Chains A and B, each alone.
Chain A
Amino acid sequence: LAKTTQPISMDSYEGQEVNITCSHNNIATNDYITWYQQFPSQGPRFIIQGYKTKVTNEVASLFIPADRKSSTLSLPRVSLSDTAVYYCLPGGANNLFFGTGTRLTVIP
């Protein structure tokens, strides 16, 4: 059974870069890795998705090593509004297990 692990919580000061690493040792060849962000009292929303190497968009970067057994979400220069729970979701079409996520708290 595939198991995804990520830190339960992280704290960071405003303006710093935050890296959240997710371990997914049993990822399958065809699986993508997707990260979601959830604010209190809202549903999760898509941040970024990748298959290998590096992906960057206007919000974040995603680093995936060659073995693809982990991935790192990088948030540049976080602000207070980035305080949220971040979920790593490796898998194909039918991977629906979000796990407990990483609760990021940005401190002024």
Chain B
Amino acid sequence: GAGVSQSPSNKVTEKGKDVELRCDPISGHTALYWYRQRLGQGLEFLIYFQGNSAPDKSGLPSDRFSAERTGESVSTLTIQRTQQEDSAVYLCASSLISAGYQETQYFGPGTRLLVL
């Protein structure tokens, strides 16, 4: 079946512009995650959606970052007034709703963002 898809695969933008990144999770997966990965570094948690619960936004680095999810499907991550330090790969993952233990996360290919 189809995996997690993300678009665009690459995005180059100018400092100060807004960008919107999209994630299509695996059908039926009620949990969705966004991570940021800077070059040569590990994954940095940004935000987590699970079902109809309020999202866990504890990882968002500033108020320039926001994310929305439509029901249990598509999610968009928006970065306003981009800065050069926002340059990174933005990864999305989805999983079945947690049954109390750690569900496997399935990752998309990521969106490579370059802020000039």
Query: A residues engaging B (CB < 8 A)?
Result: 30-32, 34, 36, 41-46, 49, 51, 85, 87, 89, 91-101
Contact = CB atoms under 8 A, between A and B. Distances in A.
Contacts of B108: 43
B71 interface: no
Contact of A46 (B4, B33, B45, B104): B104
Contacts of A92: 98, 100-102
B48 A94 contact: yes
Contacts, number: 66
What range describes how many residues of B lie at the interface?
20 to 34
Interface in B14-46: 33, 35, 41-43, 45
Given A93-B50, A93-B101, 18 more contacts: A31-B102, A32-B101, A34-B104, A36-B105, A41-B109, A41-B110, A42-B109, A43-B107, A45-B106, A45-B107, A49-B104, A92-B100, A93-B102, A93-B103, A95-B102, A96-B48, A98-B42, A98-B45
A28 B91 CA distance: 27
Interface of B: 4, 33, 35, 41-43, 45, 48, 50, 56, 59, 91, 93, 98, 100-110
27 contacts: A34-B104, A36-B105, A42-B109, A43-B110, A44-B43, A44-B91, A44-B105, A45-B106, A45-B107, A46-B104, A46-B106, A49-B102, A85-B42, A87-B42, A87-B43, A92-B98, A92-B100, A93-B50, A93-B101, A94-B48, A94-B98, A96-B33, A96-B35, A98-B35, A98-B42, A98-B43, A99-B42
